Amino acid sequence: MMTMMMQIRPHIGISRLMVVVGAVVLLLLLQGRPAEAQPSPGYYPSSKVSSMPFSQWYTNLWGAQHQSLSPDQTSLTLWMDRSSGSGFKSKRAYRNGYFGVSMKVQPGYTAGVNTAFYLSNNEVYPGYHDEIDVELLGTVPGEPYTLQTNVYVRGTGDAHPIVGREMRFHLWFDPAAAFHHYAVLWNPDEIVFLVDDVPVRRYQKKVEATFPEREMWAYGSVWDASDWATDGGRYRSDYRYQPFVSGFKDFKVAGCEVGAPASCGPVPAGPGGGLSSQQTAAMSWAQQRAMVYYYCQDSSKDRSNYPEC
């Protein structure tokens, strides 16, 4: 091959040619290399909770005409178009627990579209609510989806400006290619966000006023968040690509409902109650490889709003 290339380009020196050939070989090797494997957390909270039919624990909240439930009630499809999005809500309120669902989002142009699974008490405490968010924020072709996790406490999501506690990720897989399981483990002393049972974030109770303690319901939705969701609102929903479809399945809930006896204990995050060393290592891997934003590292934030940092 070198002789042929030298005949075609005789003015290329041998040393330069070797560099070019070496670069090509390296590129081919990198293209053929498999993606970095997701580490084993060693403990799988989702396996401790059985999946349930949607209607057993959830009900439509809005946009019923933009929902489709499978005959066996194990999967739900939501979609958004110019007229509406759609959402659902748990039938019961909880004071702690494990809340998980598998989601798959739409490929292509999805800027502005927010596919969310979250806990909230906004309907009971309007203007002063708590919220724990897992959001897949839509994107433009060639750019990855963003997973945003967030915590609002006692109205910080209702403030002007909003005081959010975001941590964002560009995941190590394509969330539009297959279903993946996303979960929130909300306990009295910490919140753990999990993706396919890998902890990606732990939000600990460090300051009383920065941790949600009031009862919350579980929600899911697809809605237009064009004002901020994709590159700070630079790219907005384009309804030439409607409908925007998201799938939900493997509905899992386990925890202490409001009114449960005091003996009802929190769902353990790990084999010994808290995260194990193996789970913590997996979380470090996820943050080092995939985290793209952390509010405590944002120098533009007013630090007085974030004593936990």
Determine contact, residues 216/204, Cβ cutoff 8 Å. no
> Which pLDDT score, from 0 to 100, does residue 137 have?
98
- Alpha-carbon distance of 234 to 242, in angstroms, equals 19
> Which pLDDT score, from 0 to 100, does residue 7 have?
39
| pLDDT one-digit tens code per residue, 168-219 | 999 999 999 999 999 999 999 999 999 999 999 999 999 888 999 999 999 9
Sorted by where each begins, the domain ranges of the chain are 92-258+274-299
Letter for the amino acid at 63?
G
Mean pLDDT to the nearest integer, 120-145: 97
Determine contact, residues 199/283, Cβ cutoff 8 Å. yes
- Alpha-carbon distance of 226 to 209, in angstroms, equals 30
pLDDT surpasses 50 at 281:
yes
Question: Phi, psi at residue 80, to the nearest 5°?
Answer: -125, 135
Q: The pTM is what?
A: 0.88
> Which pLDDT score, from 0 to 100, does residue 161 have?
85
CA distances from 281 to 103, 137, 200, 216, 268 (A): 25, 26, 10, 30, 18
Mean pLDDT to the nearest integer, 262-291: 96
Instruction: Return contacts of 280-284, CB within 8 angstroms, 24+ apart.
Output: 280/199, 281/39, 282/39, 282/40, 282/41, 282/42, 282/198, 282/199, 283/198, 283/199, 283/200, 283/201, 283/202
Q: Look over the chain and give the mean of its residue pLDDT values, rounded to a whole number.
A: 90
Identify the CATH number of the domain defined by range 92-258+274-299: 2.60.120.200
- Alpha-carbon distance of 233 to 45, in angstroms, equals 35
pLDDT surpasses 90 at 73:
yes
| pLDDT one-digit tens code per residue, 242-267 | 999 999 999 999 999 999 998 999 99
Q: Token pair for residue 148?
A: 């945003």
The residues annotated as belonging to the active site are: 131, 135
CA distances from 52 to 93, 131, 158, 298 (A): 17, 23, 33, 40
Centroid of chain to Cα 127: 24
> Which pLDDT score, from 0 to 100, does residue 175 have?
98
Q: Token pair for residue 208?
A: 């009383």
Centroid of chain to Cα 258: 26
Helix (H) or strand (E) holding 29, with range, is: helix 14-32
- Alpha-carbon distance of 175 to 109, in angstroms, equals 14
Among positive and negative, which fits the CA dihedral 102, 108, 109, 111?
A: positive
